[in-house]
Chains A and B, each alone.
Chain A
Amino acid sequence: MKFNTITISTSKNIAQKLEILAKEKESVRRKLVVTAKELAVTAKEKESVRRKLVVTAKQLAVTAREKESVRQKLVVTAKELAVTAKEKENARRKLEVTAKQLAVTAREKESTRRKLVVIAEELKGLYETLEKKVLERTKDLEQIRAKNEAILTSIGDGLVVVDKEGKISYINKSFEEMLGWKAEEIIGKSMVKVVPREDLNGVGVSFEERILTLVLSGQKFVADLTNPFYYIRKDKSRFPASSIVAPVVLGGKIVGAVEVFRDITKEKEIDKAKTEFVSLASHQLRTPLSTVSWYSEMLLAGDAGEVTPEQKKYLEEIYHGNGRMVDLVNTLLDVSRLELGTFIFESKPTDIVKLTQGVIDEQKLQIYEKKIKFLPSFANNLPAVYVDPKLLRMVIQNLLINAVKYTPYGGKIITSIFLDDENSVLLKISDTGYGIPENQQYKIFTKLFRADNVVGKDTEGTGLGLYIAKSIVEQAKGKIWFESNENIGTTFYVSFPPQKIKNKTRRAS
C-alpha cells in the first residue's frame, strides 16, 4: 500500500506540477498576447512613422527643388547686382560732373542775385512813380466817368441800354421824364414789356416785331426809324416818337442794345403847319392864275367879241405864260410835299403799259409836229407793278416830255416795256436827242439843275422834273437811271422789282 500511497503522492505532485506549468503557460500566453498586441501597436506606429517619413522625404524633395530655384534666382540677382554696380558707378560719375556744374551755376546765381538787387532797387523807384501815376489816372478816369454819366443823364433824347435779353441796364433822365418811369422801378425789367409801342394807327407793336427784339436777335443791325410811332408812358398816355436802335457788339457777339428816342410832338406839329402852309400858299397862288387863265381863254374863244389876229397872238402869250406859271406852282407843290414826306402814296397793282400809252397819246401832237419817228414796243402779259398810278404817270410824263422836248426835228424815240433778266418790269425811253454832257451827268437828278446844252434851246424847263421822278420811283422801291451821249441821245430806264409784297388793296377771297 505504500506504493499506492507513493504513487498517489507522486501523481499528486505531478498534477500539481502540471497545474503550475499550465498556469505558467497561461501566463506566458497572456504575456504573449499582450506582447502581440504591443507588437501590433508598434507595427502600426512604425507604419505611421514610415508614412511620415515618406511625406517628409517628398517634402525634402520639394525643398530641394525650391532651393535649386532660389539658388538660380540668386545667380540671376548676383548678375543683376553686378550690372547695378556698374550703373551706380556711372551715376556717381555723372553726379560728379553735375556737382561741378552746380558749382559753376552757384557762381552765376550769385552774380544774377547781385544784378537782381540792382534791378529791384530800380523797380522800387518805378513802382513808386507808377503808383503815383495810377492814382492820378484813376482820378482822371473817375472824372471822365462822372462826366460821361452826366452827359448820358442830361442828354436831351431818351436813352436806354439793355442787355442781350432785352433787360434794362441803364436809363437816363430824359427817359424818366418822357416815359414817367424811375430807374429803380424798371432796371432789370424787359424794355419791350415795360414800354409798349403803338404804330401811328394806334395798333400795338408785338414783341417779335419790336425793333429792339430784331436788333438783339441780329435780324437788323442798326434800326433807323424814319417812321414815327407812339411810346406809351407809365400813366398809359402816349407821345409820338422816333428812335434809333443799335446793337452793342463785343467780340463779334451782340451783348445788348442801345436805343435813343425823341419826342417828335413838336416836329409833327411843325410838319403839319408846313404842309398846311404849302397847301394854302398854292391855293392862294392858283386863284389869280385861274382868273387869268379863264378870262384869256374866254377872250380867245371870242366870248367878248371877235379878236384881231394880232390880239389873238398877244392873248395866246398871256394864256401860255399863265399855263407855265400854273405848272410851276403844281411842280413846286409836288416838290415840297415830297420833301415834307406828306405825299400820299396810294399804291396798287398798276398796268404800266396802259399808263404809258395814255401818256403817249397826250404827246402825239408834239411828236407829230416835230416829225419824230416814234416806236413803241410793249411785251405781252407783263405783271402789274405795285405803285401809285397817278405818281407813276407823272414819272413817265416827265421822261417822255423830256424826250420829245430835247429831240430835234425828225429824230427818233423808242419806248419799250419788258421784263429784264431779274424779272423786274423795265421801262426804257431812248431818244436821238441832244444828250446830257458827260461832266454834268452826275447832277441830272439834282433839284433845279438844267444841263448847259439845253438851257439855251428851251427856256421853259424848271429843273424839277427828274428830281421829282427820282423821288417818286425810289419811294415806290424802283430804280431810275440813264445812259447818255451828247448829240447822240439819251436812254432813261425805270425798273420795278418783282412783287413779293402782299397786295394791300386786294380783298381777302
Chain B
Amino acid sequence: MKTSKKILIIEDEKPLARALELKLSHAGFKSEVVFNGEDGIRLLNKESFALILLDLIMPKMDGFTLLAMLKVKKIKTPVLVLSNLSQREDEKRAKEFGAKEFFIKSNTPIATIVLRVTELLK
C-alpha cells in the first residue's frame, strides 16, 4: 500500500501524538513521533518524510521556529499545522512561515485530518 510514505508527527501532547500515530497506521501510513521541535529538526536532518504534522506550542523549539528553520534548510516537505491556537493571526503567521494547511485540533475530527493526509499523499 502506501507504506513507503512516512509521516513525521511533531506534537508535545503525548495522547494526541499517539492518537495520530494510531489512526494513521490504521489508514496504512508509517509515522514517526517526536515531542518537540528540536527533536523534529534533528530527525529531519537525517531522514526525509512525505509529510509533517506539526504542533505549534511546544517546549524547546516551537512550531513557528521549526517552520522558519525548514525554510532556511530548504526542506520542502509539506507541513500541516495541527494546533489549538485558534486566532486568525496564528493561522496567518503559520502560513506565512510556509505551512500548507492549518487545523484547529479541538474543532477538527481526527478522521478529517487522516482523510486530508490521504488526499495529499495519493
Contact = CB atoms under 8 A, between A and B. Distances in A.
Interface in A156-209: none
A189 B23 CA distance: 73
Contacts of B88: 344, 346, 390
Interface in A330-344: 330, 333, 337, 344
Contacts of B110: 293-294, 297-298
A301 B27 CA distance: 13
A288 to B, nearest CB: 9
Interface string A278-310: 010011101101110111011001010000000
Contacts of B16: 287, 290-291, 294
B23 A329 contact: no
Contact of A290 (B22, B89, B106): B106
B122 interface: no
A326 interface: yes
Contacts of A290: 13, 16, 84, 105-106
Interface in B10-28: 13, 15-16, 19, 22-23, 26
B111 A297 contact: yes
A260 to B, nearest CB: 33
Given A290-B16, A298-B22, A333 B109 contact: no
B84 A283 contact: yes
A405 B106 CA distance: 24
A286 B22 contact: no
B4 interface: no
Contacts of A326: 106-107
Nearest to A303: B26
Nearest to B105: A290
A344 B87 CA distance: 9
Interface in A255-297: 279, 282-284, 286-287, 289-291, 293-295, 297
Size class of the contact patch on chain A: 20 to 34
Given A329-B106, A344-B88, A283 B23 contact: no
A438 B107 CA distance: 36
B87 A287 contact: no
B106 A286 contact: yes
Contacts of A286: 84, 86, 104-106
B23 A303 contact: yes
A472 to B, nearest CB: 14
Contact of A291 (B15, B86, B104, B109): B15
A365 to B, nearest CB: 16
Given A289-B106, A291-B13, A291-B15, A282 B86 contact: yes
A344 B90 CA distance: 12
Contacts of B85: 279, 283
Contacts of B50: none
B29 to A, nearest CB: 14
A294 B113 CA distance: 11
Given A293-B106, A293-B109, A298-B23, A330 B84 contact: no
8 contacts: A283-B57, A290-B13, A290-B106, A291-B13, A291-B15, A291-B19, A294-B23, A346-B88
Interface of A: 279, 282-284, 286-287, 289-291, 293-295, 297-298, 301, 303, 326, 329-330, 333, 337, 344, 346, 390
Sort A-B residue pairs by CB-CB distance and give the 8 closest, nearest first.
A286-B84, A286-B106, A290-B105, A294-B110, A290-B106, A294-B19, A289-B106, A283-B84
Given A297-B110, A298-B110, 10 more contacts: A279-B87, A283-B83, A290-B13, A293-B109, A294-B16, A295-B19, A303-B26, A330-B107, A333-B87, A390-B88
